[in-house]
């Protein structure tokens, strides 16, 4: 017989509701992976735009964290800078700016993004619009000339040309013949916002996010797919000097679609949760982007499109939620199987 | 096999540390406390009083209520008292305290049952004291006596054991395989099931291989193993039914209505043993694990053994325990004291140290939707949480909260560590309360 009389009894154990095991992936690690996915874009921006990109990125990330810390300390709230979400906002905002933007303007952008868009609505998880996107739009409307003066990449710099147009700018001006080739746009040797130009770097980031299951691929794929299909159909009818396929790719590679689809439209807080709503969200982003690009005064529409769909997201979620039910996938599969069995029997 | 699509699941760590630990038989403890509430039906009334002498297998608790299962003594000795003790649910249990004499004399009533027809089969299952040993402790005799008997049935034996840490079902399948086969064949005969599937997660390949080998040797073709993807919660009844048959079992629907009867592998193994020697359910194989336990392992112990004594058999506490769980970490219940006895449906006792039992602090919801994509039934736990906060019963019903089986996948996966499964339970309580008004 085992002698357990000398073993102490424990009568004050902790009780809690199950489960008693949770995943190691928390908000901070999630944000860390987003930052890691932004590294290729950052490297590309430094490669093309030099030291200015480093300064602007560092200032934006630092200021965003500082504004969050300051606001939360000032209002006596729990300081949540450690979750890195403010840094992610800062870096994404920086990637949306031209590399030669005066630093003080970037600081204003960070203030708008963190304090006005995020914290005034209740902090992380409560904002209805993507902070980085709104920060960018406020800067664009306030300092339009600075925000639309794009530096030429270091590889293309000549003595008399330090700024140039973006491919979409050229398209809007009807000077499409001067636009760079698709290959040049793919590797990012063009004018534009720091992180947006190099598509290959953004795609590496997208692959990292999908591989680590940080984001679901639904929104980026629907967004990019819609832009591609919309442009293809439009140019099939409108015609032009280039083939519809060329123009569809052009619209994908030019401007902020790929970057926006990867890092901005997939923001958890401001995108829908339900699968069907995500599909509608991605398609909506693509449609609005293309409508602005083709029919409106602005050459680029990705930011406005994402902001517009951010506001739509709760609505889309609500519609999707009203249509879901327990074991939906299973019931659907069962119905489908029954239908197929019926068809086979009919044969 | 039927449905190509799997239900959502999560990949929690398996922590099957004790999978290689062969079962050790624990010597009879000095004192056992046998609970009268060992099934989800009515609690039993003690048939013995202080000073009575009892033998192993003697019935010591029974009741006239319909939904119940009798309780038997696991030791021979003298009843030293009838106690009332607060249980982990917050209510009170009646415990029969028996001082063991160490002789383990067997009651003369313990005889192999005579089973000739369906009626005597059900009576024998009831007398054996068998309840669902997977954790629900549903009276097995009722499960094997479906209203729609005679319709085509499938017996599904649940050997998934998807809960992390627990390996007692795994050891049962390795050590008691013949009993499982014998028990399954008899159950199939009386529930009129032409076929039987043993669902086993593919991280227990040795058990699958052993069954396949035995089926081949014995020429059994109507029992098949059904390998499941090793992810949580594949062993939940409704998930298992879907995975094996492709049938959708919503909450509130009896599996039997869909032509399925699901039984835990340990219940079937017990039945295979019972038809040979007639010894009621008085012993249980339990996994004892956790950072605080000195020598984790699988232990066969008498029902009513105090948790403290069971851990003492495993070398005692290596470190101070902060949390002790009855069952696995995903759905198990945290108990406040180690003075509680082992009951029939215990399959694990996990003693966690402070570090291991620490759940990180809750942070703000970032609406990532992981809870929704983790839910096997595609429910929306964040929606439940919002609706519960507003005490909005209609919204909870619209979101089909009663479909939730409290598997805990949403809480597990949440990067903000929100106690979503707990809120689901509260929400379900709210809906139940509202429907009673």
Between B2, B4, B316, which is nearest A7 by CB?
A: B316
d(CA B144, CA B130): 11
Instruction: Name the domain count of chain A.
Output: 1
Which pair of structure tokens corresponds to residue B101?
A: 């004499």
Between A123, A124, A326, which is nearest B377 by CB?
A: A326
CB of A24 less than 8 A from some CB of B: no
Between B311, B329, B337, which is nearest A21 by CB?
A: B329
Residue B109 lies in a domain: no
d(CA A100, nearest CA chain B) in Å? 33
Confidence class for position B1, pLDDT limits 50, 70, 90: very low
Q: Mean pLDDT for chain B?
A: 90
CA B414 to centroid of chain Cα atoms: 26
Q: Quick one: B282 exposed, middle or buried, by C-beta within 10 A (0-12, 13-18, 19+)? A: buried
Between A4, A19, A30, which is nearest B412 by CB?
A: A19
Instruction: Please give the average per-residue pLDDT across B176-193, as a whole number.
Output: 92
Contacts of A1 in chain B (CB under 8 A): 27-30, 102
**B165 plus B269 within the same structural domain:** yes
Listing DSSP states for A254-271 in one string gives STTHHHIIIIITT-TTTS
d(CA B315, CA B296): 8
d(CA B315, CA B322): 17
**Size of the A and B interface in Cβ pairs below 8 Å:** 206
d(CA B73, nearest CA chain A) in Å? 19
Answer yes or no: do B324 and A13 touch at CB < 8 A.
yes
Nearest 5 degrees, angle CA A124-CA A283-CA A312? 45
Is residue A116 within 8 Å of residue A72, measured between CB atoms? Answer: no
Between B334, B403, B408, which is nearest A14 by CB?
A: B334
- pLDDT for B355 equals 87
Residue B6 lies in a domain: no
Residue A3 lies in a domain: no
Confidence class for position A327, pLDDT limits 50, 70, 90: very low
Q: Which residue of B has its CA nearest to A1?
A: B27
Task: Give strand pairing partners of B298.
Answer: B287
CB of B410 less than 8 A from some CB of A: no
Alpha-carbon torsion (A89, A91, A95, A99), positive or negative: positive
**B92 plus B190 within the same structural domain:** no
Please name the residues in contact with B233: beta carbons below 8 A apart, sequence gap of 6 or more.
B9, B162, B239, B330, B376, B405, B407, B409
CB of A123 less than 8 A from some CB of B: yes
Q: Quick one: B185 exposed, middle or buried, by C-beta within 10 A (0-12, 13-18, 19+)? A: middle
Peptide bond into B233 cis (omega under 30): yes
- CB contact residues (below 8 A), chain B span 321-350, against chain A: 321-325, 329-339
Instruction: Please give the average per-residue pLDDT across B109-118, as a whole number.
Output: 90
pLDDT tens track for B44-84:
999 999 999 999 999 999 988 888 899 999 999 999 999 89
pLDDT tens track for A79-108:
999 999 999 999 999 999 999 899 999 999
**Would the pLDDT of B417 be above 50?**
yes
Between B366, B368, B425, which is nearest A17 by CB?
A: B425
**Would the pLDDT of A333 be above 90?**
no
Answer yes or no: do A19 and B3 touch at CB < 8 A.
no
**B271 plus B128 within the same structural domain:** yes
Q: Mean pLDDT for chain A?
A: 88
The more confidently predicted of residues B246 and B131 is B131
CB of B7 less than 8 A from some CB of A: yes
- Print the domain residue range for A87: 27-321
d(CA B398, nearest CA chain A) in Å? 8
Q: Which residue of A has its CA nearest to B1?
A: A337
**Would the pLDDT of A31 be above 90?**
yes
CATH of the domain at B186: 3.40.50.11540
First to last CA, chain A: 72
Between B317, B324, B377, which is nearest A327 by CB?
A: B377
pLDDT tens track for A36-59:
999 999 999 999 998 999 999 999
Residue B10 lies in a domain: no
- CB contact residues (below 8 A), chain A span 77-116, against chain B: 80, 83, 85
- pLDDT for B71 equals 93
Residue A152 lies in a domain: yes
Answer yes or no: do B339 and A80 touch at CB < 8 A.
no
Q: Which residue of A has its CA nearest to B363?
A: A27
- CB contact residues (below 8 A), chain A span 126-145, against chain B: 126
Answer yes or no: do B334 and A328 touch at CB < 8 A.
no
**B250 plus B146 within the same structural domain:** yes
**B122 plus B227 within the same structural domain:** yes
CATH of the domain at A71: 1.10.3430
Instruction: Please give the average per-residue pLDDT across A186-202, as a whole number.
Output: 90
**B54 plus B154 within the same structural domain:** no
- Print the domain residue range for B309: 28-101+282-352
- pLDDT for B345 equals 87
CB of B400 less than 8 A from some CB of A: yes
Last residue of a domain, one of B277, B297, B327: B277
Residue B65 lies in a domain: yes
Answer yes or no: do A337 and B3 touch at CB < 8 A.
yes
Confidence class for position A329, pLDDT limits 50, 70, 90: low
- CB contact residues (below 8 A), chain A span 266-325, against chain B: 268-269, 271-274, 321-322, 324-325
Last residue of a domain, one of B235, B254, B277: B277
ipTM strictly over 0.90? no
**Would the pLDDT of A2 be above 70?**
no
Answer yes or no: do A20 and B248 touch at CB < 8 A.
no
Last residue of a domain, one of B244, B262, B277: B277
Phi, psi (5° rounding) for residue A234?
Answer: -60, -50
- pLDDT for A326 equals 44
**B238 plus B293 within the same structural domain:** no
Residue A309 lies in a domain: yes
Instruction: Please give the average per-residue pLDDT across A286-305, as a whole number.
Output: 91
Confidence class for position A345, pLDDT limits 50, 70, 90: low
The residue of B248, B292, B423 whose CB has the most chain A CBs within 10 angstroms, and thus the best one to mutate to test that interface, is B248
Nearest 5 degrees, angle CA A188-CA A190-CA A193? 85
**B288 plus B414 within the same structural domain:** no
Between A9, A85, A321, which is nearest B338 by CB?
A: A9
Instruction: Please give the average per-residue pLDDT across B19-26, as a whole number.
Output: 91
Contacts of A17 in chain B (CB under 8 A): 419, 421-422, 425
Residue A102, CB-side half-sphere exposure with 13 Å CA sphere: 8
Contacts of A21 in chain B (CB under 8 A): 12-13, 164, 329-330, 412
Instruction: Please give the average per-residue pLDDT across A251-270, as a whole number.
Output: 93
């Amino acid at each position: 017989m085992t002698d357990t009389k000398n073993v102490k009894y424990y009568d004050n154990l902790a009780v809690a509701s199950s489960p008693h095991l949770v995943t190691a992936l928390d908000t901070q690690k999630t944000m860390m992976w987003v930052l890691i996915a932004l590294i290729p874009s950052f490297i590309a921006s430094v490669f093309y735009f030099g030291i200015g990109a480093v300064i602007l990125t560092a200032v934006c990330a630092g200021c965003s964290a500082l504004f969050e810390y300051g606001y939360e300390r000032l209002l006596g709230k729990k300081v949540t800078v450690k979750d890195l979400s403010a840094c992610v906002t800062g870096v994404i905002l920086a990637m949306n700016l031209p590399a030669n933007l005066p630093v003080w303007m970037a600081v204003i952008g960070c203030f708008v993004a963190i304090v006005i868009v995020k914290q005034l609505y209740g902090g992380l998880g409560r904002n209805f619009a993507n902070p980085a996107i709104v920060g960018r739009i406020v800067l664009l409307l306030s300092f339009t000339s600075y925000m639309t003066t794009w530096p030429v990449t270091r590889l293309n710099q000549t003595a008399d040309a330090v700024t140039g147009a973006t491919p979409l700018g050229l398209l809007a001006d009807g000077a499409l013949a001067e636009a760079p080739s698709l290959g040049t746009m793919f590797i990012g040797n063009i004018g534009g916002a720091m992180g947006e130009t190099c598509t290959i770097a953004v795609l590496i980031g997208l692959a990292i996010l999908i591989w680590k299951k940080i984001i679901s691929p639904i929104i980026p794929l629907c967004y990019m797919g819609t832009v591609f299909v919309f442009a293809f159909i439009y140019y099939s009818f409108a015609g032009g000097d280039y083939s519809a396929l060329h123009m569809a790719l052009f619209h994908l590679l030019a401007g902020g679609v790929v970057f926006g689809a990867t890092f901005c439209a997939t923001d958890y807080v401001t995108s829908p949760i339900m699968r069907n709503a995500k599909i509608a969200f991605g398609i909506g982003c693509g449609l609005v982007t293309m409508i602005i690009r083709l029919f409106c005064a602005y050459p680029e529409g990705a930011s406005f499109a994402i902001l517009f769909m951010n506001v739509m997201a709760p609505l889309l979620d609500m519609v999707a939620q009203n249509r879901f039910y327990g074991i939906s996938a299973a019931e659907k599969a069962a119905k489908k199987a029954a239908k197929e069995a019926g068809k086979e029997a009919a044969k | 096999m039927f449905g190509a699509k799997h239900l959502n699941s999560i990949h929690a760590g398996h922590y099957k540390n004790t999978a290689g630990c062969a079962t050790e038989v624990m010597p009879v403890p000095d004192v056992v406390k046998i609970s009268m509430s060992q099934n989800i039906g009515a609690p039993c009334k003690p048939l013995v009083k202080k000073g009575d002498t009892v033998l192993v297998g003697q019935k010591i608790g029974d009741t006239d209520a319909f939904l119940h299962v009798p309780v038997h003594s696991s030791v021979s000795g003298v009843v030293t008292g009838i106690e009332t003790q607060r249980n982990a649910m917050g209510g009170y249990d009646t415990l029969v305290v028996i001082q063991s004499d160490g002789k383990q004399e067997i009651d003369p009533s313990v005889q192999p049952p005579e089973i000739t027809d369906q009626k005597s089969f059900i009576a024998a299952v009831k007398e054996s004291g068998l309840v669902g040993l997977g954790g629900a402790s549903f009276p097995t005799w009722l499960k094997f006596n479906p209203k729609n008997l005679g319709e085509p049935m499938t017996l599904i034996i649940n050997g998934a054991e998807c809960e992390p840490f627990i390996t007692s079902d795994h050891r049962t399948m390795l050590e008691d395989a013949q009993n499982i086969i014998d028990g399954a064949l008899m159950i199939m005969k009386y529930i009129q099931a032409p076929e039987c599937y043993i669902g086993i997660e593919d991280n227990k390949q040795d058990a699958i291989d052993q069954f396949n080998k035995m089926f081949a040797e014995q020429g059994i073709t109507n029992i098949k193993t059904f390998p499941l993807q090793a992810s949580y919660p594949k062993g939940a009844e409704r998930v298992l039914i879907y995975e094996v048959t492709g049938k959708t079992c919503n909450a509130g629907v009896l599996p039997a209505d869909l032509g399925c009867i699901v039984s835990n592998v340990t219940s079937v193994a017990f039945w295979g043993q019972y038809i040979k020697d007639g010894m009621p359910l008085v012993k249980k194989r339990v996994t004892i694990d956790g950072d605080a336990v000195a020598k984790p392992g699988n232990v066969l112990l008498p029902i009513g053994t105090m948790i403290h004594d069971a851990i003492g058999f495993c070398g005692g506490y290596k470190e101070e325990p902060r949390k002790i769980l009855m069952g696995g970490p995903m759905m198990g219940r945290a108990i406040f004291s180690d003075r509680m006895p082992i009951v029939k449906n215990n399959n694990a006792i996990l003693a966690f140290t402070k570090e291991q039992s620490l759940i990180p602090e809750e942070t703000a919801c970032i609406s990532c939707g992981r809870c929704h994509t983790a839910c096997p039934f595609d429910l929306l736990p964040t929606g439940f949480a919002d609706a519960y906060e507003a005490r909005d019963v209609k919204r909870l019903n619209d979101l089909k909260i009663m479909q939730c089986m409290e598997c805990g996948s949403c809480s597990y996966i949440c990067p903000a560590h929100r106690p979503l499964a707990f809120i689901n339970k509260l929400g379900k309580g709210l809906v139940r309360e509202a429907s009673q008004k």
